[in-house]
């Protein structure tokens, strides 16, 4: 399953809801050797076509072949979940030391209307050089989210007048060949398993 967070511009609600992904849940088993959920064979390999805000290049899976890749959906105006998650990802990367050069984090915005290339570029740069901000048109975003069963929605005119965005908070981890291996859901909480995730990523690098 992947958790879905609800955020609204101007405040940080504590309530959320869980998106039940029956097919994924039936196929996934906890891997006793890892600290995350093993999704090997249950989730498609890395596949995308998006524009990288860092340099304006259109990228696909081939651009990340040979790297261990983390895929996360969010948006730059997120008041709590996204910055917390990316800050924890940055801690994992620091723990890896020089080995972090073989890791790429793909931050896909679910709110491209507000997350312009310039905004997205500045945002990911604040968390470290190993994080790429990706954006696409509505069809590209919908196709990528559907591929990985990630729920999201954007409502500029919420019931209370706020700009409401919901998005999955889990991270997919892909190996150097692009195969989906783990689903990490412990980096968006107040007490993240930094050491456990570091161990999982280090094992993938080996």
Which contiguous run of DSSP H or E holds residue 19? strand 17-19
> What per-residue confidence (pLDDT) applies to 7?
53
- Whether 78 and 7 have beta carbons less than 8 Å apart is answered as yes
Tell me the three state secondary structure of residue 164: strand
Q: Are 187 and 88 in contact (CB under 8 A)?
A: yes
Please give the torsion angle defined by the CA atoms of residues 98, 107, 44 and 153, in that order, rounded to the nearest 10 degrees. 160
- DSSP 8-state symbol, 44: P
Token pair of 147 as six digits: 């591929």
Residue closest to 70 by CA, chosen among 42, 41, 93:
93
At 25, which helix (H) or strand (E)? helix 22-27
**Residue of 75, 29, 68 whose CA lies nearest to 179:** 68
Cβ 17 vs Cβ 36: under 8 Å: no
- Which residues lie below 8 Å from residue 38, measured CB to CB, with a gap of 6+? 28, 29, 30, 31, 181, 182
- For 52, the token pair is 């990288």
Residue-level pLDDT, tens digit, the chain, 206 residues = 334 444 543 333 332 322 333 333 333 333 345 679 999 999 999 999 999 999 999 999 999 999 999 999 999 999 999 999 999 999 999 999 999 999 999 999 999 999 999 999 999 999 999 999 999 999 999 999 999 999 999 999 877 888 999 998 899 999 999 999 999 999 998 889 999 999 999 999 99
Q: What is the CB neighbour count within 10 angstroms for residue 153? A: 11
CA 132 to chain centre: 11
Cβ-in-10-Å burial (0-12, 13-18, 19+) of 176 comes to middle
């Amino acid at each position: 399953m992947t958790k879905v967070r609800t955020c609204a511009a101007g405040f940080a609600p504590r309530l959320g809801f869980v998106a039940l992904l029956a097919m994924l849940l039936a196929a996934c088993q906890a891997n006793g050797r890892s600290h995350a959920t093993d999704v090997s064979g249950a989730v498609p390999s890395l596949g995308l076509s998006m524009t990288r805000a860092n340099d304006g290049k259109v990228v696909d899976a081939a651009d990340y072949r040979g790297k261990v890749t983390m895929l996360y959906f969010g948006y730059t105006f997120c008041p709590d979940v996204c910055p917390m998650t990316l800050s924890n990802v940055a801690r994992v990367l620091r723990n890896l030391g020089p080995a972090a050069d073989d890791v790429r984090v793909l931050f896909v915005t679910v709110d491209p209307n507000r997350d312009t290339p310039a905004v997205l570029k500045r945002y990911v740069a604040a968390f470290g050089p190993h994080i790429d901000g990706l954006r696409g048109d509505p069809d590209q975003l919908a196709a990528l989210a559907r591929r990985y069963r990630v729920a999201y929605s954007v409502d500029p005119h919420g019931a209370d007048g706020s700009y409401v965005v919901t998005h999955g908070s889990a991270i997919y981890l892909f190996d150097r060949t692009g195969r989906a291996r783990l689903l990490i859901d412990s980096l968006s909480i107040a007490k993240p398993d930094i050491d456990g995730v570091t161990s999982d990523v280090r094992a993938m690098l080996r």
